[in-house]
Structure 1
Amino acid sequence: MARRAARLVPSYSFAEEEFFAADGAPDAIVQQRRAGFEQLAAIYRERFAKTAAYTAEIADGIPDIRFTSTYRVPFQFSPIVRENLSAGSFYQASSGVMLTDLDGNEFYDLTGSYGVNLLGVDAYRETIAEGAETAADLGPTLAGLHPVVADNVRRLQAISGLDAVSFHMSGTEAVMQAVRLARYHTGRTHLVRFAGAYHGWWDDVQPGVGNPLPAERTYTLADMSEKTLKVLASRKDIACVLVNPLQALHPNANAPGDSTLMGAREKPLAERQAYADWLARLAQTCRANGIVLIMDEVFTGFRLAARGACEYFGGIEPDMITYGKTLGGGLPVGVLCGKADLMKRFREDRPADICFARGTFNSHPYVMGAMDAFLRRMESDQGRVLYDGLDENWNARAAALNERLKAAGLPLRVANLGTIWTVHYLQPGRYHWMLQYYLRAEGLALSWVGTGRFIFSLAYGEAEFAKVADRFMAAAQAMDDDGWWWLPEGDARKVLRKRVVSEMLHHALR
């Protein structure tokens, strides 16, 4: 249905007059916005010229740049934004919690390297260097395994509570192998994913927009739903259920991004105990019906607790766990841990019946060395102390920022799952996506999804976070002062929805 709906959305973009009045704002607000936009554009031209020019020069050769630069904002606004507010996609240095672009501008890093950067870039420099030293004698030889692999396996067995481990090149590959093994051992065809959950970009786990093929062996069910438990108990073709614990931040919704933001973003965070109770009931239902429960900890592993979301949400014991991101010590990796009977890739009574999975760079010596350095660090007193009061500390930081936003009368709040944050907008509006550009002007670096996700590293101390909070407040206040959060009279949500539908119908018919 999502793919069908996407094909019906017409392509159109706003001219300058429409750009500033897409919500029907009066002329005084339009002029206020225009002045603010021109001032912001001047800042971008002055500060980010070299980085933007370098990005433009190579953009045609890197399709990902074209995609991310185009889809940072709703498509109607994209051409004017790209022309005037391009900050580029390149950085030349990082240190502590800071990034430096090609113009020499320094930013507080809120990208978190898409989840990789848990400990901070300086710590990962150290683990990569230690890993390279560990593997130096064998070097980039892939003829067999470096002995450090065995140490990594023993540690991961202890962390996951599972019997066997396989190494892969990405989190996507680890999830693919988990699903393949579940289907192989159960003899069933279908997987279950929950609405909005991300498990990589391969076909079966991305059945909507972005995948040109129908995912015919995938059921997308509702998270935290009694009906879902009934479906799991009644169908006999379900091999496995995939859980991404990050969905507790926005149950049954896609990962938030500014490109699709044309209203309020106010999805409530699931209460921790309620989500833990749901996972416990889900695990019980899966066990009772022979369904393999796969906990996808590629993002949340090691970030929420020492044993990841399985520990954080009350000691969940899945049949398989996937890891990635931070576990590689700064290098690319995917890991699958599972029960012995599920991890076996052949049948002794039917020798030709195998479940194949290989990859040239699986268990690469340098990656295994960096992983060893990361795991040893997390086992040390230095690593264990990172989790002391972790949740309470980051919850308190979010609460303090929300108090400041409330006191200033600004229509936004933050929600968090530990160090993973998202911005909620308390009122509808067509310009919330503008906040990402004000934030960058204040020296805060975001990933291409904008205000949908901030990812902090544990290198942020109180002083660094205080500066981020001050800059966030300054950006939000500037955006408010420039008139972007003006509201039409009456039910603003209905008024704005009607305008968007009218625009689309007009352009579709034309």
Structure 2
Amino acid sequence: MDIDTLPMGEDRNAGLLARRHAAVSGGVATATGLFADRAENAEIWDVAGRRYIDFAGGIGVLNVGHRHPRVMDAVQRQLARYTHTAFQVMAYEPYVALTERLNALAPFDGPAKSILFSTGAEAVENAVKIARAATGRPGVIAFTGAFHGRTALTMALTGKVAPYKRAFGSSPPDIYHLPFPAERYGVSVDDSLKALSFLFAADIAPAQVAAIVLEPVQGEGGFHPAPAALFARLREICDLHGVLLIADEVQSGFGRTGRMFGVEHSGVQPDMITVAKSLAGGFPLAGVVGRAALMDAVEPGGLGGTYGGSPVACAAALAVLDVFEDEELLARADRIGDRVRTRVAGFVGRNDLAPVTPPRGPGAMVAFDLVTSHGGSTPDAAMAKRVAARALERGLLLLTCGLFGETIRFLAPLTISDSVLDEGLDILEASLSLADAA
């Protein structure tokens, strides 16, 4: 049955949900039982006509909001010219123009080059391929709690078993993990570095390591920023042993942290960064930006993909970069973050609300944890799930994350108005209420 023939109301969501369960693989989860009908900036309306404030942003994809007018205009103009040629067959100017702008933004000194793909996992996987080609080494080191993708290689890099690795068999070889330094979990920078020294002594010589991959702020791992001291020591170790340092900016990039790239907070320069998510304002696009000599280490034809660097997505991304400049979204990210942190800090210790930790994270990449007692540290994933469900009933779309699922994260568009942001925070506060039996 065509959904447009149904009357407005809850049956539209229920009918689509039944079709979804009958037709779509159970391997893909959906956080809600709702279906989108239309969206604008930081608001979504479902097929029943109900409005939701969007604090999820398509999992960090919509830093410039849903359907930003300048992005939509750029896409429409590109659609009128051509939609696909495959860059490997007949190249096109939007790809070149975008890589030029990404190279100019690269968070390291010296000449840069870029290559474009479609997804964050592709970007990370190809960054590893480039690192291996450039160094002639197989080993790659990542961190617990990290999320780098769901392909065979990036799933191996991801530092969380459930649900990403369970039941998929053996991981590719030459992938190693270090404990990520997070005070919440009792791991310090020294602990991480000690584990690295043990790894070099017991499992793989540094001369066999191609790269260390690190999120400047862990995404799925709970929005834990990588300490600047860790980045500094890793840079020293990488330089000493000829290892490349890769910053995975898929979720922390494009202004989310108040800098264009999260690694800029550390003062350390990586050798490559991976980008995706908010790069193209909702269109599938990803890339690797790296030092030029490294990016040319792979022979022609060794990298690519049929849809990589779609001209429509490239046009959208160029408009996204214009919006960042013209609307000063980096400064806006800091203002949003300050507003959110101030409000969440006011929830801490309140006996009428579920126990929460103080907020953390740079810029607008903010999160807090649900815990079992005020001032405690035992994660309460069940309460986090209940809070997200209560918020949804009130019209706020929230996402959880964290090692145990205890974390509430904020990924609202950087273009959200103060009034809509405050409305969402009001709903969050009400959803944390212990008196709420919903």
**TM norm. shorter chain > 0.5:** yes
1:148–1:220: structure 2 CA closer, same or farther, 3 Å change rule? same
Larger mean CA deviation between 400-409 and 209-218 belongs to 400-409
TM-score w.r.t. length of structure 2: 0.80
TM-score w.r.t. length of structure 1: 0.70
* 8 A contact 2:348–2:358 mirrored in 1: no
**Unpaired runs of 5+ in structure 2?**
1-7, 181-188, 373-377
**Unpaired runs of 5+ in structure 1?**
1-45, 73-86, 257-267, 348-353, 485-510
Residue 29 of structure 2: which of 52, 64, 68 is its match? 68
Residue 296 of structure 1 corresponds to which residue in structure 2? Answer: 248
Q: What is the RMSD of the two structures over their aligned residues, measured on CA atoms? A: 2.8
Residue 308 of structure 1 corresponds to which residue in structure 2? Answer: 261
Give secondary structure in 2 for the equivalent of 1:318. coil
Residue 226 of structure 1 corresponds to which residue in structure 2? Answer: 193
1:63–1:338: structure 2 CA closer, same or farther, 3 Å change rule? same
> Residue deviations 1:71-97, cap 9 Å, x none?
x6xxxxxxxxxxxxxx62311011232
Residue 415 of structure 1 corresponds to which residue in structure 2? Answer: 359
Larger mean CA deviation between 215-224 and 139-148 belongs to 139-148
> Residue deviations 1:170-221, cap 9 Å, x none?
1111111110111122121111011110111122332334332323211011
Aligned-partner Cα distance in 2 for 1:131–1:372: 10
1:63–1:239: structure 2 CA closer, same or farther, 3 Å change rule? same
* 8 A contact 2:40–2:67 mirrored in 1: yes
Residue 131 of structure 1 corresponds to which residue in structure 2? Answer: 75
1:460 matches 2:416 = yes
Aligned-partner Cα distance in 2 for 1:344–1:213: 34
Residue 186 of structure 2 corresponds to which residue in structure 1? Answer: none
1:128–1:345: structure 2 CA closer, same or farther, 3 Å change rule? farther
Give secondary structure in 1 for the equivalent of 2:251. coil
Instruction: Specify the code of the residue in structure 1 equivalent to 2:177.
Output: T
Larger mean CA deviation between 195-204 and 445-454 belongs to 445-454
How do residues 206-217 of structure 1 correspond to structure 2 at under 5 angstroms? 206-207=155-156, 208-209=161-162, 210-211=164-165, 212-215=168-171, 216-217=173-174
1:147 matches 2:90 = no
4+ runs of 1 displaced by more than 6 Å?
none
How do residues 274-289 of structure 1 correspond to structure 2 at under 5 angstroms? 275-289=227-241
Aligned-partner Cα distance in 2 for 1:122–1:358: 28
Residue 375 of structure 2 corresponds to which residue in structure 1? Answer: none
Instruction: Specify the code of the residue in structure 2 equivalent to 1:99.
Output: I
1:188–1:437: structure 2 CA closer, same or farther, 3 Å change rule? same
> Residue deviations 1:220-274, cap 9 Å, x none?
1123322144257662321111011222x7xxxx635xxxxxxxxxxx955x8xx
Instruction: Specify the code of the residue in structure 1 equivalent to 2:428.
Output: F
Aligned-partner Cα distance in 1 for 2:259–2:429: 32
1:200 matches 2:200 = no
1:67–1:153: structure 2 CA closer, same or farther, 3 Å change rule? closer
1:244 matches 2:215 = yes
Larger mean CA deviation between 293-302 and 88-97 belongs to 88-97
Residue 474 of structure 1 corresponds to which residue in structure 2? Answer: 430
* 8 A contact 1:128–1:330 mirrored in 2: no
How do residues 172-187 of structure 1 correspond to structure 2 at under 5 angstroms? 172-187=121-136
Residue 135 (structure 1) shift: 6.0
Q: Number of residue pairs matched?
A: 390
Aligned-partner Cα distance in 2 for 1:232–1:355: 34
Residue 398 of structure 1: which of 332, 341, 347 is its match? 341
Instruction: Specify the code of the residue in structure 2 equivalent to 1:68.
Output: A
1:360–1:103: structure 2 CA closer, same or farther, 3 Å change rule? same
Larger radius of gyration: 1
Instruction: Specify the code of the residue in structure 2 equivalent to 1:391.
Output: D
Aligned-partner Cα distance in 1 for 2:135–2:197: 20
How do residues 269-418 of structure 1 correspond to structure 2 at under 5 angstroms? 269-270=224-225, 275-302=227-254, 303-314=256-267, 316-346=268-298, 356-378=302-324, 380=325, 382-383=326-327, 385-388=328-331, 390-391=333-334, 393-404=336-347, 406-410=349-353, 411-413=355-357, 415-417=359-361, 418=363
Residue 325 (structure 1) shift: 0.9
* 8 A contact 2:337–2:366 mirrored in 1: no
* 8 A contact 1:165–1:335 mirrored in 2: yes
* 8 A contact 1:345–1:355 mirrored in 2: no
Give secondary structure in 1 for the equivalent of 2:346. helix
Instruction: Specify the code of the residue in structure 2 equivalent to 1:104.
Output: G
* 8 A contact 2:370–2:381 mirrored in 1: no
Identity score, percent: 24
Aligned-partner Cα distance in 2 for 1:276–1:237: 26
How do residues 485-504 of structure 1 correspond to structure 2 at under 5 angstroms? none
Instruction: Specify the code of the residue in structure 2 equivalent to 1:189.
Output: P
